[in-house]
Structure 1
Amino acid sequence: MSLAQRLKRFGLDYYLLLLLGTVVLATLWPASGAGADIVDQIAYFAVALLFFLYGAKLNTSAILAGVANWRLQGLVFGFTYVVFPLCGLTLAALLSQWIEEELAIGIVYLSILPSTVQSSIAFTSIARGNVPAAVCAASLSNILGVFLTPALVAILLHASGDGISLSSIVDIGLQILAPFIVGQLLRPLIGSFIGRHAVLTQIVDRGSILIIVYSAFSAGVVAGIWQEVGARSLTIIVLSDVVMLAFVMVGTVWAGRLVGLDRADRITLLFCGSKKSLASGLPMANILFAGQAVSMIILPLMLFHQIQLFVCAIIAQRAGHLASERELQAVSP
C-alpha cells in the first residue's frame, strides 16, 4: 500500500499535509512588514488568476444558469445573512458571562460577514460542485456584504463608523469580476487548452488556499492576539466557532436535500453558505470598530477562518475522491 493510500484511510492526503505544514511555517516564520505585503500581493494575483481560469473554462450558458438558480442562490443568502446572524446572537448571549465583551461582539461580528470568495469556489471545484453557481453566490455575497455588514453591525451592535468606501466594490470587481470577464472573452482562443490541462486550474485552486492560510495565520502571529486572552476564553471561542460551523454546515446539507437540490448544488450550498470572509472582515472591522479593541473583536473570526479551511479541505477532498471513484465505476466495463 502506497503512502497516499495509507493517508486516505485516515482522511488525509498530501494537500492536507501541505495545509498543516503551511500553518507550522506561518507560526515559526510569519510574514511581516514588507514580507507580508509581498504575500498579500501574491495572494491577490493568485485569486485573480484563478478567476481568469474559471472564466476561460466555463461556458457562458452555465454561468447564466448559475445566476438563474434562484433556489440555490436564495439558500446561500439566507444562511449567510439570516441563519448565521441568529446563531451568532444566540451564542454571544449564552457565553457573554464567561468571556470578555469584545469577544462576544466578535462572535456576532463574525456571523454577519459575507461568505469567502476564493476558498468557497476552490473547495466547490475540488469537491466537484457547481462552480458557476459558486462564482455567482460568492461574488454576490461579498458585493452585498459591503452594504449589509455595516448595516447589521449598526443594528445588532450599535456601532458607528465612517462607512465603507466604494473602493471596496471596485477592489472586488478588479480582483474577481474583471479577470472572470476577460477569461470569458478569451474563452474561444484558450478555452480548449485550459480544458485539456485541468491540472493547471487545480494547482491554482489549491495554491491560492495555501497562500491565504499562510497570510491569515501570519497576521495572527504577528499581531500577538493569541496572548491577549486567557486559556478559558480561548477554549470557549474555539468551541463556539466549531458549534457555529457545525450547525450551519448540517443546516445547509439538510436544507439542500429538503428543497431537492442535486449533488452539485448541495456541494455549492455547503461551501458557500457556511463560510465567512477574513479578507472582508478585517478591513471592515478597522473602520466599524475604530477606537475599540479590534484585535480582540476579530479573534473569533481569525479562529473560525482557520477552522473552516481545515474542515472544508477535508470534506472537499473526500467528496472529490468519491466523485472520481463514481466516474471510474461508471466507465469501467
Structure 2
Amino acid sequence: MKINGFIVAIFAAIIIAYFLPQGIEVLPLSTIIDVGIGLIFFLYGLKLAPSEIKAGLKNYKSHLVIQLTTFVIFPLLALACLPLFKEGTTSQLWIALFFFATLPSTVSSSVVMVSIAKGNIPTAIFNASLSGLIGIFATPLWLEIFLQKSTSFEFTTVLLKLFLQIILPLVLGLFFQKFIGDFVKEHGKKFGLVDKATIILIVYSSFSNSFTSDLFQTVSVGALLKLFGLIVAFFFIIYFGLNVLCNALHFDIKDKIATQFCGTKKSLVHGSVMVKVIFGNSAATGLLLLPIMLFHSLQLLIIAYFAERYGKRKIME
C-alpha cells in the first residue's frame, strides 16, 4: 500500500503541474532538488553493505545475465525500435524510450519482491547495488554514443555533474557508514521519505516545464499509446526471455527468481536523478520521465503478482 501510495503521489504531482505549473515557484525548487539528489546517494552510501556485496560475488552467472540484460539487451531493444519513429534519433519519444532502456535496476523493490518470492536475496542485493553503480557511467555513455549529434549532450560535462551530485555523496556515505550507518538502517523507512519527496519534486518540476512549453501538445495520443505499448512489450520480452535463458543455463529456482526480477527492473530513482542531472531544466524532461514512470508502475504490479505465485509454489514444494 505504501508503494501504491507513492505511485499515486507521483501522478498527483503531474496533475498539479498541469493545473499549477508555477504553483510553488516561491520555493527555490531547483536548489531543493539538487540537495535532495545529494542526500539520496549519501544515504545510499550509508546503507550499502560491503559484506552483502562480498557474499553475492560467488554467483557470477546470475550477475552476468542480469547486468547484460540491464545495460545491453534493454538498450538494444530500444535501438531495434528506432525504425518505428520517423524522426529517428531526434525524436523526443524515442530519446525518452532509449533513456529509459539505459537506466540501472532498482534496489529496494527488487530485494523486496525476491524476498516475497523466496528467491536468492544476496544475489538480488548484490545485483541491484552493482547496477546502480554501473549505471552512473553506463547510462551517460549510451546517451553519448547515440544522442551527441542530435542533442546538446556533452559527456564530460555530464560526468562532472554526476560526480558532484552522485558519486561524491555516495563516497561520503560510504566513509561515514561506520559512524552513522546503523542508525540510518534502523530508521530506514523515515529516511526513505527523502527519496520519495525528491522524486515527487523532480516529477513536478519536469512536468511543469513540459506543460509550460506546451511540449505535450506536439505529441499525439497515438504516439503516446505506441510508447506505452513498447514499454509493456519490453517487460514481457525481457521477463519471459530470462525465463528461457535461466532454464537453458540450469539455474535453480532461487537464482531464476533473482535473475528474472532484477533483470526486468528499471530504477525510477536513478531515472529521476539522471534526467535532472543530464538534461537540466529542458522542457522535454517531463516527456523523458514518462516511460520510466509508466514502467515503474507496471513492473511493481506484474512482478508482485509473479512474486506471490513463486512464493506459493515454494511453500507447496
- Quote the Cα distance in structure 2 between the aligned partners of 1:153 and 1:20: 32
| AA partner of residue 48 (structure 1) | F
**Cα distance change on mapping 1:21 and 1:177 into 2, 3 Å:** same
Q: Which runs of 5 or more residues in structure 2 are unaligned?
A: 116-120
Which of 111, 114, 126 is the equivalent residue of 2:103?
A: 114
Q: C-alpha offsets along residues 94-149 of structure 1, whole Å, 9 cap, x if unaligned?
A: x2249995235415632552315xxx112123223422332122212323334343
Query: Which residue matches 1:290?
Result: none
What's the Cα RMSD here?
Answer: 3.9
Gaps of 5+ in 1: 1-12, 288-293
> Is it true that 1:174 corresponds to 2:168 in the alignment?
yes
| Residue 17 (structure 1) aligned with residue 5 (structure 2) | yes
Which position in structure 1 is the counterpart of 2:127? Answer: 133
Matching residue of 2:16? 28
CA distance in 2, matches of 1:99, 1:236: 15
CA contact (8 A) 1:88 1:108 kept: yes
Distance 1:186 1:100 in 2: 47
Find the partner of 1:78 among 32, 47, 68. 68
SS for the counterpart of 2:258 is helix
Residue equivalent to 1:163? 155
Conservation of the 8 A alpha-carbon contact between 2:69 and 2:263: no
Residue aligning to 2:265:
274
2:156 match: secondary structure: coil
Shift in alpha-carbon separation, 1:103–1:46, aligned structure 2, 3 A:
closer
- Corresponding residue number in structure 1 for 2:300: 313
Give the direction of change, closer, same or farther, for the CA distance of 1:82–1:18 in structure 2 (3 Å limit): closer
| Separation of aligned partners in 1, 2:90 and 2:278 | 19
Residue-by-residue CA offset, 1:240-287 (whole Å, 9 max, x unaligned) = 233223323433444445431653674365335531642224543469
The residue type equivalent to 1:270 in the other structure is: F
Q: TM-score, normalised by structure 1?
A: 0.69
Aligned: 1:221 with 2:207: yes
Instruction: For 1:194 and 1:161, locate their aligned partners in 2 and report how far apart those are by CA, in whole Å.
Output: 36
Q: Distance in 1 between matches of 2:154 and 2:223?
A: 31
Q: Are residues 132 and 313 of structure 1, via their aligned partners in 2, closer, same or farther at CA, if it must alter by over 3 Å?
A: same
Find the aligned partners of 2:146 and 2:289 in 1 and give their Cα distance: 20
Q: Distance in 1 between matches of 2:167 and 2:11?
A: 30
Q: Are residues 180 and 71 of structure 1, via their aligned partners in 2, closer, same or farther at CA, if it must alter by over 3 Å?
A: farther
How many Å apart are 1:16 and its aligned residue? 0.6
8 Å CA contact 1:63–1:132 kept in 2: the answer is yes
Deviation at 1:306, TM superposition (A): 0.8
Structure 2-normalised TM-score? 0.72
- Shift in Å, 1:14: 4.2
Identify the range of structure 1 (208-217 vs 120-129) with the bigger mean alpha-carbon deviation.
208-217
Instruction: Note the 1:173-212 alignment, pairs <5 A.
Output: 173-183=167-177, 185-186=178-179, 191=182, 197=186, 200-205=187-192, 207-212=193-198
Q: Indicate the percent of aligned positions where both proteins have the same amino acid.
A: 11
